[in-house]
Amino acid sequence: MGHILIQDLCKSYRNRRIARRGPRDPYQPGEIMWILDNINLEFHEGEMVCLLGPSGCGKSTLLRLIAGFDGATSGEVTIDGKKVIGPSSNHIFVFQHSGLLPWMTVWQNVELGVRNVEDARARREKIQENIDMVDLTDFEQHYPHQLSGGMKRRAELARALAANPDVLIMDEPFNGLDFLSHMKIREEIVNMHELLRKTTLVVTHDIDDALLMGDRIVVMGGRPAQVKLNRQLDFPHPRDPKKNAALGDLRDELFLMLGVSYAV
């Protein structure tokens, strides 16, 4: 489960313009703005896919189309052979930061992920299992405001995993985290992925995140955005671009591709 096929996907929005109504300046409808141009991609079951690209190029738009939150202008996304026509909470879970409900405890927030499990005992076990997995044991009755930034992110992760989706979508999951929490949560995501093998799509701005986590790296760019690179990574974990020459070369290639010079 969790095989994603994206075929000839195009997306446009109507540009928003300030409309000044009046006899000399009638309302002008906005022009069409093309965001995604003919995207063709295939993500295999259980793959960890890291999406890179400059800000505003359309990464979140692509994720929204895969999650069914928005419709394509043309082309289609199919998951396990079924065309995506709207959101489906059973199959896809979108991991959002600041997605915890502030009036609910960690336990209750994670419980939201397992509300489909009918048996109360099985539900309790599943909640505890996921809370333990992200190392939040003993913080079950804490409210989000009583947790650190890294702990909140781990609780969000527990909720996402408890939902047991076929596809896990993470748009910039490390946003706003300090350096150490970023490293720790990245490691936890990689470990969980090794264990659970869910198809996982991660948007990140950090090339090293993509190199260390991805089974596949996709770079998007241009206006409208096209796929600039789609590379499968067969390097085993743990990965270190400093010790692995091929990984180091790919790192250089990605920096060049994204127009950044890191040798300053």
Among 4, 49, 50, 57, binds ligand ATP (CB under 6 A): 57
- Out of ligand ATP, Mg ion, none, what residue 88 binds, judged by CB under 5 to 8 A for its kind, is none
Residue 26, phi-psi category: left (phi > 0), alpha (psi -120 to 50), beta (remainder) = beta
Q: Cα 215 vs. chain centroid, distance in angstroms?
A: 14
Closest contact distance (angstroms) between CB of 208 and ligand ATP is 17
Please name the residues in contact with 113: beta carbons below 8 A apart, sequence gap of 6 or more.
Answer: 93, 130, 158, 159, 160, 161, 162, 163, 164
Among 1, 56, 71, 90, binds ligand ATP (CB under 6 A): 56
Alpha-carbon distance of 175 to 14, in angstroms, equals 29
Q: Is the dihedral of CA 61, 67, 70, 73 positive or negative?
A: positive
Among 4, 9, 35, 52, binds ligand ATP (CB under 6 A): 35
Alpha-carbon distance of 135 to 6, in angstroms, equals 36
Q: Is 60 in the site for Mg ion (CB under 5 A)?
A: yes
| 60 or 164: CB nearest Mg ion | 60
- Return the amino acid letter for 98: S
- Out of Mg ion, ligand ATP, none, what residue 144 binds, judged by CB under 5 to 8 A for its kind, is none
- Out of Mg ion, ligand ATP, none, what residue 61 binds, judged by CB under 5 to 8 A for its kind, is ligand ATP
- Out of ligand ATP, Mg ion, none, what residue 214 binds, judged by CB under 5 to 8 A for its kind, is none
Alpha-carbon distance of 20 to 39, in angstroms, equals 36
Alpha-carbon distance of 218 to 249, in angstroms, equals 16
Q: Is 96 in the site for Mg ion (CB under 5 A)?
A: no
Q: Cα 60 vs. chain centroid, distance in angstroms?
A: 8
- Out of ligand ATP, Mg ion, none, what residue 13 binds, judged by CB under 5 to 8 A for its kind, is ligand ATP
Alpha-carbon distance of 53 to 101, in angstroms, equals 30
Site for ligand ATP in 191-220 (CB under 6 A): none
| 61 or 130: CB nearest Mg ion | 61
- Interface region with ligand ATP, contact rule CB under 6 A, candidates 49-57, 80-88, 181-189, 233-241: 49-57
Closest contact distance (angstroms) between CB of 199 and ligand ATP is 20
Q: Do you know the residue count of the chain?
A: 264
Residues that bind Mg ion (CB under 5 A): 60
Residues that bind ligand ATP (CB under 6 A): 13, 35, 53, 55-61
